[in-house]
């Protein structure tokens, strides 16, 4: 690795979650489940749901980007590129990144979408970093998912897991030794059989039959996904630590995808990372897919110090997985953290 290469750094974080809270008690009235069962097996207590009519993932993403631009005092027309990671695009085309650009008022540069399920934000972040390394000056990476649009609220195995949210970061060239240092990103198409949305693509186009068979909702084989998720994230973290001769004491924060508290605890146990140094907010938001990692960075922004070493890690359908090693590039903002609208 060329230590003198141009490096990308995160210079700001924004987020948005909808105002409506769907609690475990609410789900008890919808499916055969209980607050105790959900909490014990997932760590989730509540999740946010976008209930406003005629809204989509782009609306979540646009609110996160607006906050990011405001916090960083960035003119929308300074943005060279917007990359949106999402598992729930507004439409198959045009892509959600360009819809977000339009809703925010970004008229310069270009945008595109990345689909890698829950690993999407990491894939998009590494892609955005490469564009900065190759000469772009300001790149926004968004993770936005309206998971409620593909959740079957009669399926107690999946409806308890997911929520709606968006998070966004601004990438700019680094002028010091902070920024995105390295990544391990991997995938294996055999995972398509265990976590997927069957209907709606070219393989199973939408028909009366696909709708009647409820094929437009998310499906997962939980035990298999759990096993591969733990192994994938652990191995990718190990590769980064070995490559950079890092011990657990060299890392200030681990930022895992918020899929299941048991997965997060497994990562903690395997590396002996205390949970106090692992960002966890799954109890409040559930699994927001591509939004979980930037949502964590947003919530912990005031605790991050310039130079802090972070490892971001995720696993998603496909299968996709990986980790990113970075050094945080700024101290806590002088002004009080700006909350996403409707967050208490």
Report the DSSP beta bridge partners of residue 22: 47
- Which of 137, 211, 213 is CA-nearest to residue 172? 137
Residue 140 sits in the same domain as residue 185: no
State the CATH number of the domain containing residue 126.
3.40.47.10
Residue 69 sits in the same domain as residue 171: yes
Residue 168 sits in the same domain as residue 235: no
- Using the CB atoms, write b or e for 276-302: b if 16+ within 10 Å: eebbbebebbbbbbbbbbbbbbbbbbe
Classify residue 336: in a domain, yes or no: no
Residue 131 sits in the same domain as residue 184: no
Residue 167 sits in the same domain as residue 184: no
Q: What is the DSSP string of 215-229?
A: TTSEEE-HHHHHHHH
Residue 172 sits in the same domain as residue 229: no
Residue 131 sits in the same domain as residue 201: no
Residue 250 sits in the same domain as residue 152: no
Cβ contact 206:199 at 8 Å: yes
Query: Does the annotation count 193 as an active-site position?
Result: no
Query: Does the annotation count 231 as an active-site position?
Result: no
Q: Are strands 46-49 and 81-85 parallel, antiparallel or unpaired?
A: unpaired
What pTM was estimated for this model as a whole?
A: 0.93
Q: Which of 118, 159, 260, 296 is catalytic?
A: 118
- Which of 294, 290, 31, 342 is CA-nearest to residue 147? 290
Classify residue 337: in a domain, yes or no: no
Q: Containing domain of residue 199, as a range?
A: 180-327
Domain boundary among 177, 201, 236: 177
Tens of pLDDT, residue by residue, the chain (344 residues): 455 678 999 999 999 999 999 999 999 999 999 999 999 999 999 999 999 999 999 999 999 999 999 999 999 999 999 999 999 999 999 999 999 999 999 999 999 999 999 999 999 999 999 999 999 999 999 999 999 999 999 999 999 999 999 999 999 999 999 999 999 999 999 889 887 778 888 888 899 998 988 878 788 887 888 889 999 999 999 999 999 999 999 999 999 999 999 999 999 999 999 999 999 999 999 999 999 999 999 999 999 999 999 999 999 998 999 999 999 999 998 765 444 444 33
What local confidence, expressed as pLDDT, does residue 335 receive?
Answer: 61
**Reduced DSSP (H G I as helix, E B as strand, rest coil) percent helix, strand, coil of the chain, to 5:** 40, 25, 40
What local confidence, expressed as pLDDT, does residue 220 receive?
Answer: 81
Q: Which of 84, 257, 260, 296 is catalytic?
A: 257
Residue 85 sits in the same domain as residue 110: yes
- Which helix (DSSP H) or strand (DSSP E) does residue 149 occupy? none
How remote is the C-alpha of 53 from its chain's centroid? 24
Distance (Å, rounded) from C-alpha 272 to C-alpha 253? 12
Into how many domains does the chain fold? Answer: 2
**Quick one: tokens of 191?**
């995972």
Q: Which of 24, 84, 287, 296 is catalytic?
A: 287
Query: Does the annotation count 245 as an active-site position?
Result: no
Classify residue 43: in a domain, yes or no: yes
Q: Which residue has the tokens 């390394």?
A: 133
Classify residue 1: in a domain, yes or no: no
What local confidence, expressed as pLDDT, does residue 203 receive?
Answer: 84
What is the C-alpha radius of gyration for the chain, rounded to an integer number of angstroms?
A: 19
The one-character DSSP state at 317 is T
Classify residue 111: in a domain, yes or no: yes
What local confidence, expressed as pLDDT, does residue 216 receive?
Answer: 85
Q: Which residue has the tokens 């733990």?
A: 230
């Amino acid at each position: 690795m060329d230590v003198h290469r141009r490096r990308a750094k995160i210079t700001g974080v924004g987020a948005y979650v909808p105002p409506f809270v769907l609690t475990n008690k609410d789900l008890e009235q919808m499916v055969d489940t209980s607050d105790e069962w959900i909490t014990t097996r997932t760590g989730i207590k509540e999740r946010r749901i976008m209930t406003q009519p005629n809204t989509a993932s782009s609306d979540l993403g646009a609110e996160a980007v607006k906050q990011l631009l405001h916090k960083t005092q960035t003119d929308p027309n300074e943005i060279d590129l917007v990359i949106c990671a999402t598992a729930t695009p507004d439409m198959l085309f045009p892509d959600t990144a360009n819809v977000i650009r339009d809703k925010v008022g970004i008229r310069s540069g270009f945008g595109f979408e990345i689909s890698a399920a829950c690993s999407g934000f990491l894939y998009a972040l590494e892609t955005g970093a490469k564009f900065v390394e190759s000469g772009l000056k300001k790149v926004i990476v968004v993770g936005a998912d309206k998971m409620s649009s593909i959740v079957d609220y009669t399926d107690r195995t999946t409806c308890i897991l997911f929520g709606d949210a968006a998070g966004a970061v601004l990438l700019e060239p680094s002028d010091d030794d902070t920024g995105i240092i390295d990544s391990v990103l991997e995938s294996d198409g055999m995972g398509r059989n265990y976590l997927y949305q069957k209907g709606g693509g070219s393989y199973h186009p939408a028909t009366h039959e696909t709708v009647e068979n409820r094929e437009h909702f998310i499906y997962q084989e939980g035990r298999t996904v759990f096993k591969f998720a733990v192994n994938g994230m652990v191995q990718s973290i190990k590769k980064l630590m070995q490559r950079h001769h890092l011990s657990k004491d060299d890392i200030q924060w681990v930022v895992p995808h918020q899929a299941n508290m048991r997965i997060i605890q497994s990562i903690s146990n395997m590396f002996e990372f205390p949970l106090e140094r692992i960002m966890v907010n799954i109890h409040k938001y559930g699994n927001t897919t591509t939004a979980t990692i930037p949502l964590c960075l947003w919530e912990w922004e005031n605790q991050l110090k310039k130079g802090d070493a972070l490892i971001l890690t995720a696993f998603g359908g496909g299968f996709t997985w990986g980790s990113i090693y970075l050094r945080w590039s700024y101290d806590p903002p002088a002004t009080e953290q700006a909350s996403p609208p409707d967050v208490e």
